[in-house]
């Protein structure tokens, strides 16, 4: 058990070092000197698709931006298989009254814990869903990571990985 914990710590340290090396190589600030103008334009197009116009915006203590998006305009419905999907607001089966009480009390408890954790009541209006806003920096960083993986992967590495 102790060996397992120490190996997990080692793995976490390696991941932190890898992230730091990528950040140092490509820059961690708002200065996107290693990103071409075409890539920035493409990233801005992606942001317009990902971040739908919010009905309400919430800023958390951690600095994340949560947008309350109309339930029918949420990004999951951009998928071709869900284009004409109808949202079922009520279950198609009946639930016994005692089960409803259990569900209501557990849901209330969970929402109260979330409210206490955030320090204030943060709720989206009825008919909306909370979705964390994607930032330009996150998309740039994910593109840089993808490029970094492509640059460091070759056929020989893949053969070794999948050779048993």
What would the pLDDT profile of 73-117 be if each residue is shown by its tens digit? 888 888 888 888 888 777 777 666 555 555 555 555 555 455 445
For the full predicted model, state whether its pTM sits above 0.85.
Answer: no
The predicted-structure confidence for 58-70, as pLDDT tens digits, reads as follows: 998 888 899 999 9
- Please tell me the distance from the alpha carbon of residue 8 to that of residue 10, in angstroms, as a whole number: 5
Please, are residues 77 and 52 in contact by the beta-carbon 8 Å criterion?
no
């Amino acid at each position: 058990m102790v060996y397992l914990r120490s190996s997990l710590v080692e793995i976490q340290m390696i991941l932190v070092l890898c992230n730091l090396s990528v950040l140092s190589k490509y820059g961690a600030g708002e200065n996107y000197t290693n990103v071409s103008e075409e890539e920035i334009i493409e990233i801005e197009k992606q942001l317009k698709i990902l971040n739908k116009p919010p009905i309400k915006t919430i800023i958390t203590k951690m600095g994340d931006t949560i947008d309350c998006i109309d339930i029918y305009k949420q990004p999951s419905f951009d998928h071709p298989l869900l284009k004409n999907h109808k949202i079922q607001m009520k279950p198609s089966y009946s639930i016994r009254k005692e089960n409803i009480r259990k569900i209501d009390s557990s849901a209330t408890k969970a929402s109260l814990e979330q409210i206490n954790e955030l320090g204030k009541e943060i709720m989206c209006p009825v008919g909306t869903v909370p979705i964390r806003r994607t930032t330009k920096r996150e998309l740039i960083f994910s593109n840089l990571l993808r490029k970094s993986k492509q640059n460091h992967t070759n056929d020989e590495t893949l053969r070794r990985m999948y050779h048993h």
